């Protein structure tokens, strides 16, 4: 199992690293392929037939291609990201509060459309983040990864109060706070590095926030984004629990499915773009 997990990770890195570095069309198309696969998983998790799941993947891919052709992928952050952010904050909170049983009672078409819209917005946010620069993109990726890693180790070391026992019994409040603290420290360190090495126009999310909102604003937004990464993770866990599934699929041997790897990214990237537009 470990060997399979490592091999899958190496293949993914071999695909992703060159695309991330080059950006542009290569990055857009590769990430769109992953998002389309996640759309297939989402449809299957919500009880759709194979045909509907395949149609969902095709629909997301076509919508992404049309959005790219229309020039949306190169647009700077706009009011649309605030709408997506509000839906994640309000909708995510309400869905998590209601629990897995309530999710299963939602009409299937509504669940399907909601997920596909979240995936499409997430892809567009990824591509726009790359258009703002490699430094910006990596700073958001690292925020999500560090929040997850620190929360895991913080929970194992200090955790005892369950965060959402009916959704993800392993998560604790202590782990969540550890993740948010780690992200706050990352934001400070990244800002210092940006200043030290004079990155010019290729600014990280943290450098932008510090310049626009000051130190307090930077830390507040960084901690909030870390919290929303947990919301994204819990949201997918809720859907899997409602479906009685351990993983979103077996598309990535040893790692589960694509959704299992990108769930925390989906709310964070649109929110990061909205925050980057603050003045």
pLDDT band at 2 (very low <50, low <70, confident <90, very high): low
Range of the domain at 178: 2-276
pTM above 0.85, yes or no: yes
Alpha carbons 235 and 182: distance in angstroms, whole number: 22
Q: What is the pLDDT of residue 12?
A: 83
Total domains in the fold of the chain: 1
How confident is the model over 138-171, as pLDDT tens digits? Answer: 999 999 999 999 999 999 999 889 999 999 999 9
């Amino acid at each position: 199992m470990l060997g399979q997990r490592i091999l899958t990770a190496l293949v993914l890195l071999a695909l992703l690293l060159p695309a991330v570095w080059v950006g542009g069309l290569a990055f857009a198309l590769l990430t769109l392929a992953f998002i389309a696969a996640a759309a297939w998983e989402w449809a299957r998790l919500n009880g759709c037939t194979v045909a509907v799941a395949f149609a969902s993947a095709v629909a997301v891919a076509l919508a992404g291609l049309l959005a790219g052709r229309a020039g949306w992928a190169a647009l700077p952050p706009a009011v649309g990201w605030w709408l997506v952010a509000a839906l994640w904050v309000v909708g995510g909170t309400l869905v998590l509060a209601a629990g897995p049983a309530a999710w299963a009672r939602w009409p299937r078409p509504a669940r399907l459309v909601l997920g596909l819209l979240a995936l499409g917005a997430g892809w567009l946010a990824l591509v726009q983040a790359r258009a703002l620069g490699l430094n910006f993109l990596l700073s958001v990726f690292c925020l999500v990864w560090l929040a997850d890693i620190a929360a895991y180790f913080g929970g194992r070391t200090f955790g005892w109060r369950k965060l959402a026992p009916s959704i993800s019994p392993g998560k604790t409040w202590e782990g969540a706070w550890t993740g948010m603290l780690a992200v706050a420290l990352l934001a400070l360190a990244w800002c210092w590095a940006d200043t030290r090495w004079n990155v010019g126009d290729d600014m990280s999310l943290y450098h932008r926030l510090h310049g626009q909102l000051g130190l307090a604003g930077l830390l507040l937004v960084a901690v909030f984004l870390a919290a929303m990464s947990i919301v994204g993770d819990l949201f997918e866990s809720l859907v899997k629990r409602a479906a009685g599934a351990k993983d979103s699929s077996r598309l990535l041997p040893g790692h589960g499915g694509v959704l299992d790897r990108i769930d925390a990214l989906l709310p964070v990237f649109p929110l990061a773009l909205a925050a980057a537009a603050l003045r």
